[in-house]
Structure 1
Amino acid sequence: MSRICELTGKGRQVGHNVSHANNKTKRVFLPNLQKVTLMSEKLDRSFKFRVSTQGLRSVEHNGGLDNWLLKTNDEKLSAGALKVKRELKKAAAAS
């Protein structure tokens, strides 16, 4: 299981630890991933995702999971999120 946000695509970043003597050693910055259950209003179901805390705030700011998935590019979404997005599009087309 990789450390990538399923909704925003945010992953690890590489940088340096810098000492007082300006020695640089490699280090990794990992996203703050949380396991959350998000509710889809159109499908009346809940879905479990591993989402960064910044991604969770973004989803809430944009009006919920349904709006976020429909607005986001497919390249950023995980396979599970793409599956939910397809279900949302089917439900929208059916109604």
Structure 2
Amino acid sequence: MSRRCDLTGKGVQSGNLVSHSNRKTKRRFLPNLCNVTLESETLKRSVRLRISANALKSVDHRGGLDAFLAKARDEELSPVALDLKRQIAKAVAAAAAA
């Protein structure tokens, strides 16, 4: 399982650990990933995702999972989230046509 957020695409970063004597050794900055279950109002079901804590705040700020995915760019979404975005768009189009 990769250490990458399903919604924002935030991943591992690298940098230097600097000691008191100013020696530099490589280190990794890991994203704060959480396993969460989010509710989709359009699909009327819950979805399990592995997202960062920052993405969870963004989902709440934008008004839910459906609104977040509607505004998100396709390049930064994982294949699972991209499939979910397509399902939501399909359900919205079907509801508008009916």
TM-score by length of 1: 0.98
Deviation at residue 56 of structure 1 after TM alignment: 0.4
Distance 2:80 2:69 in 1: 11
Structure ranking higher in helix proportion: 2
Q: Does residue 1:42 correspond to 2:42, yes or no? A: yes
Structure 1: unaligned runs, 5 residues or longer: none
Q: Report % sequence identity.
A: 59
Q: Which string of whole-angstrom CA distances, capped at 9 and with x for unpartnered residues, describes residues 21-54 of structure 1?
A: 1000000000010100000011101000000001
TM-score by length of 2: 0.95
- Aligned structure 1 segments of 4 or more residues deviating by more than 3 angstroms: none
Structure 2: unaligned runs, 5 residues or longer: none
Q: Write out aligned runs for 1:44-59 (5 A).
A: 44-59=44-59
Q: How much is the aligned-residue C-alpha RMSD, in angstroms?
A: 0.5
Q: 1:75 aligns to what?
A: 75
